[in-house]
Amino acid sequence: MDKKKAILAIDGKDPIELNILRGSLGCQELDIRTLGAQGYFAFDPGFTSTASCQSSITYIDGDKGVLLYRGFPIDQLALNSNYLEVCYILLYGEAPNVKQFHDFKISLTHNSLLHEQIYNLLRCFCRHAHPMAMLCGMTGALAAIYHDSMDVHRKSHRDLIAIRLLAQMPTMVSMCYRYATGKPFVYPCHDFSYSGNILYMMFSDPSETYVINPILERALDCILILHADHEQNASTSTIRTAGSSGANPFSCISAAVASLWGPSHGGANEACLLMLEEIGTIENIPVFLRRAKDKNDPFRLMGFGHRVYKNYDPRAMVMREVCHEVLNHLEVKKDLMEVAMELEYIALHDSYFIERKLYPNIDFYSGIILKAMGIPSSMFTAIFAMARTVGWIAHWKEMYDEGIKISRPRQLYTGYTQRNFNSKITS
Contact residues for ligand CMC, defined by CB under 6 A: 230, 233, 264-266, 268, 292, 300-307, 356, 358, 361-363
Q: Is 363 annotated in the active site? A: yes
Q: Which residues of 413-427 are buried (b: 16+ CB within 10 A; e: fewer)?
A: eeeeeeeeeeeeeee
Q: What are phi and psi of 210, to 5 degrees?
A: -105, 125
In 3-state terms, what secondary structure has residue 128?
A: coil
Q: For residue 237, give the nearest of 28, 82, 392, 45 by alpha carbon.
A: 392
* The Cα angle at residue 305 between residues 356 and 289, in degrees rounded to 5: 75
Pick the catalytic residue: 306, 324, 329, 401? 306
Cβ 182 to ligand CMC, closest distance in Å? 30
- CA distance linking residue 400 with residue 231, whole number of Å: 16
- CA distance linking residue 89 with residue 233, whole number of Å: 19
Contact 68, 56 (CB under 8 A): no
Q: What are phi and psi of 9, to 5 degrees?
A: -105, 125
Cβ 385 to ligand CMC, closest distance in Å? 11
Cβ 165 to ligand CMC, closest distance in Å? 20
Query: By C-beta, is 121 or 358 nearer to ligand CMC?
Result: 358
Q: Is 14 annotated in the active site? A: no
Cβ 352 to ligand CMC, closest distance in Å? 7
Query: By C-beta, is 26 or 246 nearer to ligand CMC?
Result: 26
Q: Partners of 399 in the beta sheet?
A: none
- CA distance linking residue 107 with residue 62, whole number of Å: 36
- Output the CA torsion sign for 142, 403, 92, 363: positive
Query: By C-beta, is 88 or 288 nearer to ligand CMC?
Result: 288
Contact 325, 79 (CB under 8 A): no
Cβ 374 to ligand CMC, closest distance in Å? 23
- CA distance linking residue 342 with residue 336, whole number of Å: 10
Cβ 224 to ligand CMC, closest distance in Å? 15
Query: By C-beta, is 302 or 382 nearer to ligand CMC?
Result: 302
H/E element, 155 = helix 155-180
- CA distance linking residue 239 with residue 243, whole number of Å: 6
Query: By C-beta, is 200 or 384 nearer to ligand CMC?
Result: 384
Burial label for 161, CB within 10 Å (0-12, 13-18, 19+), is buried
Cβ 305 to ligand CMC, closest distance in Å? 2
Query: By C-beta, is 196 or 303 nearer to ligand CMC?
Result: 303
Cβ 265 to ligand CMC, closest distance in Å? 4
In 3-state terms, what secondary structure has residue 236?
A: helix
Pick the catalytic residue: 130, 265, 363, 395? 363
- CA distance linking residue 122 with residue 180, whole number of Å: 10
Query: By C-beta, is 362 or 368 nearer to ligand CMC?
Result: 362
Compute CA 170 distance to the chain's CA centroid, rounded to the nearest angstrom: 15
Query: By C-beta, is 169 or 358 nearer to ligand CMC?
Result: 358
Residues 6+ apart with CB under 8 A from 247: none
Residue 349, Cβ neighbours under 10 Å: how many? 9
**Chain residue whose CB lies nearest ligand CMC:** 305
- Catalytic machinery residues: 306, 363
